[in-house]
């Protein structure tokens, strides 16, 4: 009984969704009614499978909050390794109870339960539609009926299935074959000590210990495997934001393009730390690292990043004389642009910089190249 789940909106503002209770119920099976058939089919494949049902208090005020809650619950069951959380496969389900009330009213109106939603997006769509439907009914002077409705994902509408049962219609009674279960504090303590850090705890750790922005922490803790990978990389580097940028950028893109999960990602955490170090030391720039070195590293994940970068001739040029030669060539070729710079058009430096990077095949140290360009233009 009681408790709450903390959700966070897009702006990072937290809200506690108060729980009424969490209980176990066993699946009794499923009735299948086929249109124009006199027989009902009974599916007992899931009979006896215990389901965890989480019931909230009526404190969810928008479809966005409902979506955030479903996302948080999905993260929780995945972190605890008790469920894969895939709504499309029926591993995680949601029944949304929607009710509205007139402005200045003291109590919510009749409750309508919406079933048959197979994604978080569809949960939000169903809630939005049901809200609009009930508001329209009330504004037309019609009464909202307490009922169970199904959601059609194709047209985005809900349809009546049956009138809602009252609590006494369920005819609950104690099971004579099930003895009362006494749960000891010692057992609960054992479970608590064996639990991993949950998403909310990791979010706080990432925003405080690693100083990540709220958005980064939310994205990374969305996946248990990505959060674990992040922490392992951070053991070998102090550039925590750099690790976050790689995970949310090139690595996430790679996962999406290849269709693999983070658990299958083969680049060792130490290799990513080495790659970040090469960039921080000015031996590589991010563009070359992400566009050329990283794709090759995914083909040879066990190879040293330094060795691979040298083999591909990607190491950044930090030799001032070599870069100066290129800078002088570029400045000599664009006398009109040099004149514009001397008349005060300082932004023209970026054009010269682009030419230098192109001719050095992206390997010129950007800071050194910029300094040399400004020196040459000042002559």
244, HSE (Cβ side, Cα atoms, 13 Å): 20
Residue 262 has pLDDT above 70, yes or no: yes
pLDDT (tens digit, 9 = 90+) per residue, 137-196?
999 999 999 999 999 999 999 999 888 666 666 677 777 888 888 999 999 999 999 988
Q: What residues pair up with 55 in beta bridges, in sequence order?
A: 21
Residue 317 CB neighbour total at 10 angstroms: 17
For range 266-292, the mean pLDDT: 91
Residue 88 CB neighbour total at 10 angstroms: 9
**Among the listed residues 275, 264, 271, 258, the one whose alpha carbon sits nearest the alpha carbon of residue 225:** 264
pLDDT-above-90 percentage for the chain? 57
pLDDT grade for 103, boundaries at 50, 70 and 90: confident
DSSP 250-262: IIHHHHHHHT--G
Residue 63 has pLDDT above 70, yes or no: yes
What angle separates helix 199-208 from helix 224-234, to the nearest 10 degrees? 30
Output the pLDDT for position 317.
60
What global pTM score does this model have?
0.75
| CA 260 from centre of chain | 15
Output the pLDDT for position 316.
67
Output the pLDDT for position 325.
85
pLDDT grade for 278, boundaries at 50, 70 and 90: very high
Structure token digits, residue 32? 């299948």
Rg of the chain over CA atoms, in angstroms? 30
Residue 61 has pLDDT above 80, yes or no: yes
Output the pLDDT for position 360.
79
pLDDT (tens digit, 9 = 90+) per residue, 298-341?
999 999 999 998 888 887 666 677 778 888 888 888 888 888 88
Structure token digits, residue 317? 């040029």
């Amino acid at each position: 009984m009681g408790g709450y789940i903390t959700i966070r909106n897009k702006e990072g503002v937290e809200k506690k969704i108060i729980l009424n209770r969490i209980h176990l119920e066993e699946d009794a099976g499923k009735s299948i009614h086929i249109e124009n058939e006199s027989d009902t089919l009974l599916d007992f494949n899931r009979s006896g499978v215990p389901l965890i049902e989480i019931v909230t208090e009526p404190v969810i005020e928008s479809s966005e909050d409902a979506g955030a809650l479903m996302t948080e619950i999905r993260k929780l069951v995945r972190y605890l390794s008790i469920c894969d959380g895939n709504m499309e496969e029926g591993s995680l389900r949601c029944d949304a109870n929607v009710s509205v009330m007139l402005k200045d009213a003291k109590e919510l109106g009749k409750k309508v339960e919406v079933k048959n939603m197979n994604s978080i997006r569809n949960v939000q769509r169903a809630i939005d539609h049901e809200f609009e439907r009930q508001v329209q009914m009330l504004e037309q002077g019609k009464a909202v009926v307490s009922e169970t409705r199904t959601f059609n994902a194709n047209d985005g509408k809900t349809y009546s299935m049956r009138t809602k049962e009252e609590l006494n219609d369920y005819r609950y009674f104690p099971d004579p074959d099930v003895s009362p279960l006494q749960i000891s504090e010692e057992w609960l303590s054992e479970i608590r000590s064996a639990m991993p850090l949950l998403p909310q705890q990791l979010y706080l750790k990432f925003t405080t210990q690693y100083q990540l922005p709220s958005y980064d922490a939310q994205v990374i803790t969305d996946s248990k495997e990505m959060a674990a990978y992040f922490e392992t990389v951070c053991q070998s580097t102090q550039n925590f934001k750099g690790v976050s940028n790689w995970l949310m950028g090139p690595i996430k893109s790679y996962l999406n393009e290849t269709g693999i999960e983070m658990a299958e990602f083969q680049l060792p955490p130490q290799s990513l730390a080495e790659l970040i170090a090469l960039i921080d030391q000015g031996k590589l720039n991010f563009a070359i690292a992400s566009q050329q070195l990283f794709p090759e590293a995914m083909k040879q994940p066990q190879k040293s990043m330094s060795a691979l970068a040298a083999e591909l001739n990607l190491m950044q040029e930090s030799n001032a004389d070599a870069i100066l030669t290129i800078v002088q060539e570029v400045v000599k070729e664009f006398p009109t642009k040099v004149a514009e710079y001397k008349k005060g058009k300082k932004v023209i430096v970026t054009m010269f910089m682009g030419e230098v990077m192109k001719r050095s095949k992206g390997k010129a140290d950007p800071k050194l190249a910029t300094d040399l360009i400004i020196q040459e233009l000042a002559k």
